[in-house]
Amino acid sequence: MSTLSEKSSKKNKLADSAGLASLSQMGSGRRLGPSTFAMPVTLAVVAAILGSVLPVSYSFILEYAISLSIYAVATNLLLGFGGLVSFGQGVFYGLGAYTVALNWMHHGLSFWEAMVLAPFVGAAASVLMGLIALRTRKLYFALLTLAFSQLAYVIVGVQYNFTSGANGIFGAMVPTWLVSPRNSFFFVLGVTVVSLLVMWKVTSSPFGLVLQASRDNRDRVEALGVNVFRHQLVAMAIAGFFCAIAGTLFVIYSQSTYPDLFLWTSSGIPVFMVVIGGMYKYIGPIIGAVVYEIAHHFLIGYTQDWQLVLGLVLVVIVLLRPDGLAGAFDGLMARRRGRVSPAGGES
């Protein structure tokens, strides 16, 4: 009996190993791996230096761009890793902001208590959306998330007595020391670095591998006995959690919140950042967030048609570099390495 048990155990281990190997092969084509985190750490150090030396007006722009990187990377957990195009991430971003604002307005919770609560509100709402939307696939999933976004926008907009309706909420919602531009910059940078580190650990784990494999071949992953629905639902919860954190940082930046944060067009912003930055590199959405905010800030000062300009940029990148700016940079470095011999001379 013990011999049979040992043989059975060995068989199970071999099956598990074969399954993991299959998942690895499926996800290997567009793998977002641990080695890609060195660049975000470098960028964080550069951002800290810039935040110390730049004029306040420019550090203000950089602060918002940094906070948007959480929004973009969280969205890419679904888009780049899971192959799920969601136009509902603005719901969780808005919930993060409104959790802080409404607690300040009605319930008297401190900013810190509300900031801790907000991500769990975002995660819970994301699970609710996922339980319904994940019953469908591809286009229908995207349309259902868009519908949730519009529904949330309408609900927040009409509840005037509770949310102030279309007027939004304005006021001193954050602690006094966070009003200082330098203090708020380094606080936002710290929260962003921790958030990006946690999401990197998630994406470089076996969980992230399953997401990538299910993106490439869902039927084969399910045939291996993996519950893809459950993995995608957890991914949605994690994405909602961090989108809500980004929403709380928006309150620090703007000292306000308003229903437009819930619009599907707001949800389109992180998708835009992911695409222009590159969805198959961890650094991609971070680059996209910084490029988007800097371009948005300067374009809006020159033309009212800034959205048209950014739209044209998106078209060009999709046609010429579908792997985004991060992919373009990788390609440039690969060509450079190919031209230079190991000894340092031209090859």
DSSP SS3 for 91: helix
- CA distance linking residue 193 with residue 189, whole number of Å: 6
User: Does residue 39 fall inside a structural domain?
Assistant: yes
Q: Establish how many alpha carbons lie within 13 A of residue 26's alpha carbon, considering only the half-sphere containing its beta carbon.
A: 24
- CA distance linking residue 71 with residue 195, whole number of Å: 10
pLDDT (mean) for 219-247: 95
The one-letter amino acid at 1: M
Instruction: Give me the residues paired with residue 346 across strands.
Output: 340
- CA distance linking residue 48 with residue 88, whole number of Å: 31
pLDDT band at 121 (very low <50, low <70, confident <90, very high): very high
Degrees (nearest 5) of the Cα angle 146, 150, 151? 115
Predicted confidence at residue 332, as pLDDT, reads: 78
pTM exceeding the 0.75 threshold for the entire prediction: yes
Q: Establish how many alpha carbons lie within 13 A of residue 318's alpha carbon, considering only the half-sphere containing its beta carbon.
A: 11
The domain total for the chain is: 1
User: Does residue 114 fall inside a structural domain?
Assistant: yes
Q: In Å, how far are 81, 96, 196 from 87, measured between CA atoms?
A: 16, 17, 21
User: In this structure, are residues 70 and 245 in contact, taking their beta carbons and an 8 Å threshold?
Assistant: yes
* 256-257 and 169-170 strand pairing: antiparallel
Provide the percentage of residues in the chain whose pLDDT is more than 70.
Answer: 85
User: Does residue 103 fall inside a structural domain?
Assistant: yes
* DSSP code, position 344: S
Whether 29 has a pLDDT exceeding 70, the answer reads: no
Predicted confidence at residue 24, as pLDDT, reads: 53
Q: In Å, how far are 26, 111, 215, 225 from 19, measured between CA atoms?
A: 11, 46, 16, 9
* Token pair of 26 as six digits: 């499926």
Whether 64 has a pLDDT exceeding 80, the answer reads: yes
pLDDT band at 206 (very low <50, low <70, confident <90, very high): very high
Whether 334 has a pLDDT exceeding 80, the answer reads: no
User: In this structure, are residues 246 and 91 in contact, taking their beta carbons and an 8 Å threshold?
Assistant: no
pLDDT (mean) for 66-90: 95
Provide the percentage of residues in the chain whose pLDDT is more than 90.
Answer: 50
Q: In Å, how far are 10, 67, 96, 179, 316 from 252, measured between CA atoms?
A: 55, 10, 12, 8, 34
Number of helices followed by number of strands (H, E) in the chain: 15, 2
DSSP SS3 for 258: coil
Domain with 85, as residue range(s), is 35-262
The one-letter amino acid at 20: L
- Location of structure tokens 């459950």: 230
Whether 341 has a pLDDT exceeding 60, the answer reads: no
User: Does residue 10 fall inside a structural domain?
Assistant: no
User: Does residue 82 fall inside a structural domain?
Assistant: yes
- CA distance linking residue 148 with residue 53, whole number of Å: 42
User: Does residue 268 fall inside a structural domain?
Assistant: no
Whether 232 has a pLDDT exceeding 90, the answer reads: yes
User: In this structure, are residues 325 and 291 in contact, taking their beta carbons and an 8 Å threshold?
Assistant: yes
The mean pLDDT of the chain is 84
* DSSP code, position 259: G
Dmax (CA) for the chain in angstroms is: 80
- Location of structure tokens 């007595």: 161
User: Does residue 345 fall inside a structural domain?
Assistant: no
The one-letter amino acid at 256: S
User: Does residue 126 fall inside a structural domain?
Assistant: yes
